[in-house]
Amino acid sequence: MVTSHTARRSFATNMFLRGYPVSLIKEFMGHSSEKMTWSYIAAPEDETAYRVANDEFFKLNLGQG
């Protein structure tokens, strides 16, 4: 069953994984603190590795140019 809490967790997690800052997610969700917002985010265990692997800066476009 999908509850409103599940939907809110999915929203927060997906926004975070797409690179939105927690401060903005907090505003979207109507939270008064980032601590509350973090409780909704299911971040990967190794957040640093995830962010580096998915950051456009580190993606090489070899063979072009």
Residue 61 has what pLDDT?
65
The torsion angle over the Cα atoms of residues 60, 50, 36 and 2, rounded to 10 degrees, is 100
Mean pLDDT, to the nearest integer, of 43-63?
A: 71
The C-alpha atoms of residue 35 and residue 40 are separated, in whole angstroms, by: 9
What digits encode the pLDDT tens for the residues 5-44?
899 999 999 998 888 999 999 999 999 999 999 999 987 6
What predicted TM-score, i.e. pTM, was given to this entire model? 0.65
Give the pLDDT of residue 55. 76
| 18 SS3 class | coil
- Look at residue 19 in the predicted model and tell me its pLDDT: 86
Residue pair 54/47 in contact by the 8 Å Cβ criterion: no
Q: Is the pLDDT of residue 54 over 90?
A: no
